[in-house]
Amino acid sequence: MGKEQELNADIAIIGAGGAGLPAAVTAAYGGASVIVFEKMAAIGGAANMAEGIFAVESNIQRRENVGLTKDQAFKLHMEYSHWRVNPSLVRVIIDRSAETIEWLMAQGAKICEPRALYPDSLRTWHTLEGYGKTITKALYEKAKEAGVQVLLKTPAKKLVLDEEGRISGVIAEDKNGNTIKANVKAVIISDGGFGNNMEMLQKYTNAGPDIIHYGGKGPNGDGIQMAWEIGAAAEGTDVLQRGMPMVRGEMGITRLNTLLSQPYLWVNQWGERFFDEGTYEFPFVGNAIAKQANQIMYIIFDDHTKKYMKEVGIDFGAGVYVPIATKLDNIDAELQRGIDKGEAYVAETIDQLASMIDINGEKLVATVEKYNGFCSKGHDDQFAKNPKFLHPVKTPEFYAIRACPTLVGTVGGIKINSKTEVLNKKDVAIPGLYASGNCAGGMYGDTYDAVTSGLTISFAVSSGRIGSENALRYIGK
Ligand SMILES: Cc1cc2nc3c(=O)[nH]c(=O)nc-3n(C[C@H](O)[C@H](O)[C@H](O)COP(=O)(O)OP(=O)(O)OC[C@H]3O[C@@H](n4cnc5c(N)ncnc54)[C@H](O)[C@@H]3O)c2cc1C
């Protein structure tokens, strides 16, 4: 049996990622003693991998003459989400986004220019030099300097309430199986969502069994379950932050995955088109694949298009690191890699290709012929795809690559208000309990936002800070 250890502090924070680290620094700067519990051996969580952070009316945007206002961004987000969100929470996150960027830069994070994540989208996505590690590393250093105690490999397990229903502690377990009880006056849950928890994914969302989660190994729904156990209400549990489709077993921005996202011909397992492939917004791609049988798709192209990608360059980039017009000069080797994995296929005829991917040959031939007709006349009668992406599938050899839907993370779970206080089922705040980042709901309607790019990491950082500011007030600091 493991030992038991007691620790005392003002505030405990669960998770040292995109929301937990800013919460820790803010709390320590406000004069609180702080303990951070982190499940993994290293800090940062999914935040380490982020590429761009949302802000509106930032100084960087002002210097670049980006005229978008907070009011406009707020209205766009609310319309996009059909007001199925917490408007006061959305407003405060949008209003504070620019100041959050200034704060992050003051802590040492390197934040660059505002980019449009999707073609013709708003320039709200402020790129991060060297990914989100620029944020997490800087904040970790500041937290340590400010005396925050960060306990790695120490997952939080349970919240403790006093007799009056106020938060009074957290129980965690260290790497040797010893129990740690932290006696605290406030807790901020910031342990990410439940992307690794297949049981919760199946219960609350439309994620299929083949979904590829690449949001880090930590988030497992622990914080959400802990909060629900003590009476917190649920919000937004069904919203997924979906990413671009990927080859099974092929994580991240590889060339094979980049190939998949190109806007040529996509079909489902029935050999039918199911999407305007020229729509780059990941949430929409993810929604469309989720509706298909087996939740998989194939990209189909011919030798001519292969040459185009090699010599002219790709039409869709992958984040900032593989820009549009990148020439896939090693495309043959990449395709061979896919073939060796059993995820890519090459054939002399469409009929042969169809049999390799278990699609009815007549059906696929018919789909290709119809699609080629759209390419000839320069208009996609089916889904109105931008004509510049209409590449016919005519010249052997023909290629197919299978793709699975992906999950960046889940973005809901615990109901909070605009102070990030955790609410019970009567919408009354549980004294001393706050939730920030991916474990908290209220920001998204049914689909992760595709208009205000970079909002999840922005929400994580701002909601972490807001949580601590309110926790400091609550404990009288
Ligand atoms: C590849 C990738 C690219 C992305 N790009 C962008 C982008 O460009 N822009 C954008 O806005 N967003 C992006 N995101 C999303 C963004 O990174 C997340 O929304 C953000 O990190 C959420 O912050 P969080 O604190 O809620 O979760 P995390 O950053 O994941 O932190 C949660 C932490 O809690 C820890 N934890 C889990 N359970 C426990 C427990 N029981 N006890 C203690 N600790 C626990 C985890 O190990 C982790 O360290 C990206 C995500 C990925 C994966």
Reported as a single tens digit per residue, the pLDDT across 435-475 is 999 999 999 999 998 889 999 999 999 999 999 999 999 99
Q: Which residues contact 332 (CB under 8 A, 6 or more apart)?
A: none
Helices (H), 242-349: 255-260, 282-290, 303-311, 331-341
| Separate counts of helices (H) and strands (E) for the chain | 14, 21
Between CA 355 and CA 364, with CA 360 as vertex, the angle to 5 degrees is 95
Three-class DSSP category at 464 = helix
Say which residue the tokens 């766009």 belong to. Answer: 76
The two tokens of residue 67 are 């005229």
**Is pLDDT at 35 greater than 90 in this prediction?**
yes
Question: Hey, which of 49, 54, 254, 444 would you mutate to test ligand 1's pocket, going by the most ligand atoms within 8 Å of its Cβ?
Answer: 49
Segment among 34-43, 92-101, 316-325, 397-406 with least mean pLDDT: 316-325
Residue nearest to atom 31 of ligand 1 (CA): 17
Do 370 and 428 belong together in one domain?
no
Of 376, 407, 438, the position where a domain reaches its end is: 407
Quick one: pLDDT band at residue 1, thresholds 50, 70, 90? low
Do 149 and 248 belong together in one domain?
no
Do 199 and 225 belong together in one domain?
yes
Rounded to whole angstroms, how far apart are CA atoms 323 and 328?
Answer: 11
Give the pocket of ligand 1 (CB within 6 Å).
14-20, 37-40, 45-47, 49-53, 132, 155-156, 190-192, 214-216, 218-220, 222, 408-409, 437-438, 454-458, 460
What is the DSSP-derived secondary structure letter of residue 318?
A: B
What is the total count of domains within the chain? Answer: 2
Do 281 and 189 belong together in one domain?
no
Q: For residue 294, give the CATH number of its domain.
A: 3.90.700.10
* 430 within 8 A of 167, measured Cβ to Cβ: yes
Q: Is 182 exposed, middle or buried (0-12, 13-18, 19+ CB in 10 A)?
A: buried
What atom of ligand 1 comes closest to residue 217's alpha carbon? 47
- Tell me what pLDDT residue 119 has: 78
Break the chain down into helix, strand, coil percent, rounded to 5: 35, 20, 45
Do 176 and 36 belong together in one domain?
yes
What is the DSSP-derived secondary structure letter of residue 195?
A: T
Of 384, 407, 430, the position where a domain reaches its end is: 407
Q: What is the pLDDT of residues 264-292, one digit of tens each?
A: 999 999 999 999 999 988 899 999 999 99
* 241 within 8 A of 207, measured Cβ to Cβ: no
Do 284 and 295 belong together in one domain?
yes
Do 22 and 93 belong together in one domain?
yes
Do 441 and 466 belong together in one domain?
yes
- Tell me what pLDDT residue 321 has: 75
User: Does the predicted model carry a pTM greater than 0.85?
Assistant: yes
Q: How far is the CA of 464 from the centre of ligand 1 (A)?
A: 12
> Could you tell me which of 105, 116, 71, 62 has the C-alpha nearest to residue 91?
71
Rounded to whole angstroms, how far apart are CA atoms 292 and 282?
Answer: 16
Three-class DSSP category at 198 = helix
Do 162 and 69 belong together in one domain?
yes
Give me the count of residues in the chain. Answer: 477
Of 348, 381, 407, the position where a domain reaches its end is: 407
Rounded to whole angstroms, how far apart are CA atoms 340 and 361?
Answer: 23
Do 214 and 70 belong together in one domain?
yes
Q: How far is the CA of 323 from the centre of ligand 1 (A)?
A: 24
> Could you tell me which of 144, 146, 115 has the C-alpha nearest to residue 128?
115
Range of the domain at 263: 242-407
Residue nearest to atom 42 of ligand 1 (CA): 155
Do 311 and 417 belong together in one domain?
no
Q: For residue 45, give the CATH number of its domain.
A: 3.50.50.60
Do 233 and 286 belong together in one domain?
no
What atom of ligand 1 comes closest to residue 44's alpha carbon? 49
CA-to-CA separations, 187 to 125, 291, 459, 461, in angstroms, rounded: 30, 39, 18, 16
Average pLDDT in the chain: 96
Helices (H), 146-221: 198-204
